Structure 1
Amino acid sequence: MSDYSDDDEVDLGVSLETVATVVDHVRALQGKEETEPEQASEDENSEAALLQETPDDMTEAALRAFLGELNEDEQASLIALAWTGRGDYGPEEWDEARALAVERNDGRDIGDYLLSMDNLGDLLAEGVAAFGLSIEDVER
């Protein structure tokens, strides 16, 4: 777990439901890969077909729109959680991480920034875990 004490309640500035939604969608996007249409159509149950994006899947554009609809505090919190999950900041430095995230996010596209991070879903989950919380407990 983490060295963060349960007595030190922290306001993440974003709901665990929102974090879980982003994590689920990022992981779904990372699981998809481009395949040749003829390869996927050979057998609809093949690995290539199952990994091909379908219209029902969460698209990157939809995820970007979801991120863009979050308020500035929620966006900054997602950035700070990713940094915490990456090990750039610890839970005890949360206020500093959020303040820097607000500053760096000002006027920028959060989708561009967050989606450029490798393993974003894992980083966000680890960031939440650093506070002794789990997105796995969130109902979906």
Structure 2
Amino acid sequence: MDPLTPLDTLCRIIFRAREYEAQTPTDYDGGEAAENIDDDDEGALSVLDDSVNDSVEEELQAAFEDLGEDQLAEVVAFSWVGQGTYEASDWDEAMEEAQALVGSGTAGAIRELLDMPMLASVLEAGLAAFELNCDGVGDLS
């Protein structure tokens, strides 16, 4: 399969998504069940500050915005294949649904990607389903 989006662009998105995930704040309750939390103390510890994440999120969002609609739909479809929503053999169906999502507004598709847990991993898995990978892409050698 030859993707519409250049492989180096897809790999840059994966690399940015990996940076984004590494900086995404998470709430950790220290293992306490919700019923043991005081009203005054929500029991959650913010691991990272949201402001640290802003520039990486903006760069990742800009990378998505720079894509054409068909390319953005392709990234969404790769992520769905990678997370198991679709099999590689159902690519046409995944692309059709992704194009419908993008057609209803690119902002919604971009938000879905940004909110997707482990985006870098699912995109890598989606590429791998088509025997594509980022090995050697971006190397300085």
1:124 aligned residue: 123
2:21 aligned residue: 30
Rounded to whole Å, the distance in 1 between the matches of 2:120 and 2:56 is 15
User: Under a length normalisation based on structure 1, what TM-score does the superposition of the two structures give?
Assistant: 0.72
Q: CA deviation at 1:132?
A: 1.2
Rounded to whole Å, the distance in 1 between the matches of 2:55 and 2:132 is 25
Same amino acid, percent of matched pairs: 30
Q: CA deviation at 1:58?
A: 5.1
Give the 3-state SS of the residue equivalent to 1:96 in structure 2.
helix
Residues 88 and 29 from structure 1, CA distance in 2 versus in 1: closer, same or farther, beyond 3 angstroms?
same
User: Under a length normalisation based on structure 2, what TM-score does the superposition of the two structures give?
Assistant: 0.71
Runs of 5+ unmatched residues, structure 1: 1-9, 35-47
Runs of 5+ unmatched residues, structure 2: 26-46
Written as runs of structure 1 = structure 2, the 5 A alignment for 1:84-123 is 84-106=81-103, 107-109=105-107, 110-123=109-122
Rounded to whole Å, the distance in 2 between the matches of 1:19 and 1:12 is 9
Question: 1:21-45, CA deviations, whole angstroms, 9 ceiling, x for partnerless residues?
Answer: 11111111111256xxxxxxxxxxx
Rounded to whole Å, the distance in 2 between the matches of 1:92 and 1:22 is 24
Contact residue 69 and residue 106 of structure 2 kept, 8 A: no
Q: CA deviation at 1:12?
A: 2.2
Aligned residues: 114
1:83 aligned residue: 80
2:28 aligned residue: none
1:21 aligned residue: 12
Higher RCO structure (Cα 8 Å, ≥6 apart): 1
Rounded to whole Å, the distance in 1 between the matches of 2:129 and 2:18 is 20
How large is the Cα RMSD of the aligned pairs?
2.3
